[in-house]
Amino acid sequence: MIQLPETGFVRLPQIIGDPKAEPPIPPIIPVKKSCWWAGVRSGRFPRPVKFGRCTMWKVEDIKALIASA
């Protein structure tokens, strides 16, 4: 499994993976991008934090999501 930092923020490819990256990024939560955003809208997945044009998620929120599964 991928090691998440204790605190901080992660971007979407770090959560759902990116096989086209070099080196490939394995998924923490294996869903497609459209499924992820539908889950954010429905409240199933945590809401992101915006830093200007950059969208990120709190590591604590992602860890809580994994722990609740």
The per-residue pLDDT for 4 is 87
Q: Is the pLDDT of residue 17 over 60?
A: yes
The per-residue pLDDT for 1 is 54
Mean pLDDT of the chain: 94
Q: What is the pLDDT of residues 26-43, one digit of tens each?
A: 999 999 999 999 999 999
Name the pTM for this structure.
0.89
Q: Where are the domains of the chain?
A: 9-68
Q: Which residues pair with 9 in a beta bridge?
A: 58
DSSP code per residue over 38-66: HHHHHTSSPPPEEETTEEEEEHHHHHHHH
Q: What is the pLDDT of residues 59-68, one digit of tens each?
A: 999 999 999 9
DSSP code per residue over 4-38: PPSSSEE-HHHHH-BTTSSS-B--SS---HHHHHH
